[in-house]
Structure 1
């Protein structure tokens, strides 16, 4: 495989890796004349290369290599540009171009110059390099002879065509981001911007101290703290007569179910309306499971359609239950709301009284002797069951005979016989 200088995982404040440029389209009849830089500072970099070169033919070959995309990924660190360049041999050449970094005192003068004008900082943030900043007391751009190219090829030209190609591509990097030039001179983008920010803040604070303090508008503290009557609060806005309809949600491939979104939005609107009217959220105390059951039970229609199965699967997964458990819980919620769900899931020991009177009432209605267990009375054939809720109502359940698979049926009733009204199962005492 072709060697590469690229190691983006090692990049940081003082190391940046740029992917290889794609080949440029040919510009007939003289593609070598096509410009390889667009900004004035990019042209200045190219001028430093060309004016310090000893052989125009090597420059032309290097320009052609750059246009043909033969320069691999470029790594920039303080004082150094590195890349592999493909030449006439199978193995690419390792090329580097060195530039002198600025010393500490030079950087201080450069940063002072940049902070003198807010426009300089704004231009850098817009990826522009002001002339006054780059060509001031501390020149950033190299001049003729300031670039020191080196290559692993046997050509001793200054520069060889591989180094020239890297210089031309570096000009394109500078076009896109002048902070590459600052990195070459020794400082990373974040360090430069932080230093400029500190200088700007210091100068602004110093300027504020030198100005005469302006009189502050306002009132005296004694006047502000003096007791005074407060104006009445504005009247609250009238409560809407009913929750508004939610917007229509379009279906999108791979997106959420529009009907489920509509259901959630409608439910949220109803809860918000109840909170405005009563000051209480009717479902605020529900657990995650109870709220999932409530939402599933609110879906209109009966039977498990494809959309309903998808909703049940989603709600069940979110609450750590199965779709079958959710379907049974929905039946209990539709039978008796939160109390009905508690009857399904929470056996309890009722006190003497209502529970003890239920068996004689069932016998008086020509029904067999139901077997008691905690708050439940079960038909001797095991296909009908009555459960006493903590709300004092009886809830009817049915199951296939011999199976412990109870499902809520009918309407809760304070009378155990009344709770069995309407059940299709045979309730007589026949064995």
Structure 2
């Protein structure tokens, strides 16, 4: 089966009153080069070949092709055995061009439909608006000519030219080839049957064909209801298998041409195994309720960031792009996630107003420990030099942040602590950075 090219200009169709009448709106003008096939699909070119075989005058064909290129063919109406359109010529009033062709007989349709129903690939191709070579060849071998020959076509026109065909009918034929490019069911309608009728009939015949080829199912032995419901001893269920101490490792994935990234697959499989192990051991889903952004941060945080590989850099870029963030945003969020998961990320992204209590007692405690007076804003306490900041989380712990002086570019640094003094000391000492965190955000660029 040859793949059907995408038509250069697919015509729009106006629905008719039934399945046996289709009207296609006029196609805009286009430019075709000399020697270039007018149709894109092989079945559209076969239609053009039949037209060229019918004509004895190449000049009329050339003029008709020019009319079609110039968009002088108005809306085309297709019914069984007939194609009609008005074509604008040299006069103000357009001419009525018509092309008749033989329709298939009922025995011919039976032969064709049986051939399609017996070949699922041909049926799939038709549903995809393609005309497989095998279908036309099978029909031809059974004596059913689906594609037209010159003796199948009977042209007529209201113009005074008595050529067979005249340039107006030739233009109609060329434009019809473009209809066939976009929908081979147009050819089947010309041959006598509409798309809905054909699809219903093909579905029925395909089901009958499949039923004939399917082996008969073995008879299922029956059991009397009294016997099935009788009280009897049931052995105890087997003891559950012991829970493994760690998630299992996924298999190795081969690096095949065109296949998915094996390292990416390994990462997803490892993540799924860890999630399943958590469900098995705790009964809780660690991902329940996470947003797409939180899950992206979680995935990035599961990779080591010290000495990043190209694969991990690519993962950061893809996760950032998928969530509409920058890689710097993602790196900052990963540092917050490593502080305390989703709660640490919320401290980074969502300022809030804590109630009276621990937050109010933090500044006197810091002053008593010899530290300068911190500036409060919502749940933030900022060092006077603008380099250090403590953020109070909804979990009652203090999270350390650091920025270049005056930059307002805060990055999570120290592990959280319920005591603001201890959290600040860890931040100043620089000894509580989460494992694997690289302090330079440029590592993901």
Retained in 2: the 8 A contact 1:149–1:163? no
Retained in 2: the 8 A contact 1:96–1:163? no
What SS does structure 1 have at the residue aligned with 2:222? coil
Partner of 1:54: none
Partner of 1:52: none
Retained in 2: the 8 A contact 1:64–1:165? no
CA RMSD of aligned residues (A): 6.6
| Closer, same or farther: CA 281–192 of 1 in aligned 2, 3 Å | closer
CA distance in 1, matches of 2:159, 2:142: 39
What SS does structure 1 have at the residue aligned with 2:391? strand
| Closer, same or farther: CA 386–147 of 1 in aligned 2, 3 Å | closer
What SS does structure 1 have at the residue aligned with 2:414? strand
What do the CA deviations read for 1:307-340 (whole angstroms, capped 9, x no partner)?
Answer: 7776555544544555554443322222333333
Partner of 2:346: 342
| Closer, same or farther: CA 230–384 of 1 in aligned 2, 3 Å | same
Retained in 2: the 8 A contact 1:349–1:374? yes
1:308-347 matched pairs, under 5 angstroms: 311-312=315-316, 314-316=318-320, 318-319=322-323, 321=325, 323-344=327-348, 345-347=350-352
Candidates 83, 97, 100, aligned match of 1:98:
100
1:186 aligns with 2:192: yes
1:420 aligns with 2:424: yes
Retained in 2: the 8 A contact 1:98–1:148? yes
| Closer, same or farther: CA 380–182 of 1 in aligned 2, 3 Å | closer
What do the CA deviations read for 1:235-257 (whole angstroms, capped 9, x no partner)?
Answer: 6666564332464585989x998
What SS does structure 2 have at the residue aligned with 1:272? helix
Candidates 288, 292, 297, aligned match of 1:293:
297
Partner of 1:243: 248
Retained in 2: the 8 A contact 1:59–1:164? no
Retained in 2: the 8 A contact 1:249–1:262? no
Retained in 2: the 8 A contact 1:78–1:101? yes
CA distance in 1, matches of 2:276, 2:58: 69
Runs (5+) with no aligned partner, structure 2? 1-8, 25-31, 37-46, 87-94, 124-134, 178-182, 209-218, 431-445
Q: Per-residue deviation at 1:222?
A: 4.7
What SS does structure 2 have at the residue aligned with 1:417? helix
Candidates 5, 10, 25, aligned match of 2:13:
10
CA distance in 1, matches of 2:404, 2:184: 80
| Closer, same or farther: CA 418–65 of 1 in aligned 2, 3 Å | same
Retained in 1: the 8 A contact 2:391–2:400? yes
What SS does structure 1 have at the residue aligned with 2:12? helix
Number of residue pairs the alignment of both structures matches: 370
Between 270-279 and 73-82, the greater mean CA deviation after superposition: 73-82
Candidates 70, 77, 82, aligned match of 1:80:
82
Partner of 1:397: 401
Partner of 2:156: 150
1:365-380 matched pairs, under 5 angstroms: 365-371=369-375, 375-380=379-384
Instruction: Give me the TM-score of the superposition, normalised by structure 2.
Output: 0.53
CA distance in 2, matches of 1:346, 1:380: 20
CA distance in 2, matches of 1:383, 1:409: 12
CA distance in 2, matches of 1:83, 1:219: 70
What SS does structure 1 have at the residue aligned with 2:288? coil
Q: Per-residue deviation at 1:282?
A: 1.7
Q: Per-residue deviation at 1:301?
A: 2.0
Retained in 2: the 8 A contact 1:61–1:161? no
Retained in 1: the 8 A contact 2:117–2:206? no
Partner of 2:275: 271
CA distance in 2, matches of 1:217, 1:335: 62
CA distance in 1, matches of 2:263, 2:144: 61
Retained in 1: the 8 A contact 2:253–2:265? no
What do the CA deviations read for 1:262-312 (whole angstroms, capped 9, x no partner)?
Answer: 544433332233223433222323233332332333332248998777655
Q: Per-residue deviation at 1:131?
A: 8.6
Instruction: Give me the TM-score of the superposition, normalised by structure 1.
Output: 0.55
| Closer, same or farther: CA 223–119 of 1 in aligned 2, 3 Å | farther
| Bigger CA radius of gyration | 1
Q: Per-residue deviation at 1:347?
A: 3.4
What SS does structure 2 have at the residue aligned with 1:299? coil
Partner of 1:50: none
Candidates 275, 278, 285, aligned match of 1:281:
285
1:73-222 matched pairs, under 5 angstroms: 77-80=79-82, 96-99=98-101, 110=106, 114=110, 122=118, 126-127=135-136, 128-129=138-139, 148-150=154-156, 183-184=189-190, 186-192=192-198, 194-195=200-201, 218-222=222-226
Q: Per-residue deviation at 1:119?
A: 6.9
